[in-house]
Amino acid sequence: MNFDELRRLTQLLKTLKTLHSQQEILEWLRENKEYIRSMEPAQLEELREKADYDKDAWEEVLRQLLN
């Protein structure tokens, strides 16, 4: 991961931590859809863990976004 990717991921994480409802998360993910689609599964899992989101809710949101 290069510096720009790390900086963007850090900014995304800061934003995610401010979102509380599943609807807010879904809206944020839609806005960042292309970037998120380019992420590896391990990166998505790390992002979820760092944002401290419930795994089931996170997977449901990703399923809605990516399908």
* Structural domain boundaries in the chain: 3-66
Residue 28: partners with Cβ closer than 8 Å, 6 or more residues away: 15, 16, 19
3-state secondary structure of 24: helix
CA distances (Å), origin 27, targets 6, 7, 16, 62: 22, 21, 11, 11
* pLDDT digits 0-9 by tens, 11-55: 777 777 676 666 777 787 778 888 878 888 888 778 777 766 677
Average pLDDT over residues 56-65: 72
Nearest-CA neighbor of 25 among 39, 35, 37, 12?
12
How confident is the model at residue 65, as a pLDDT?
67
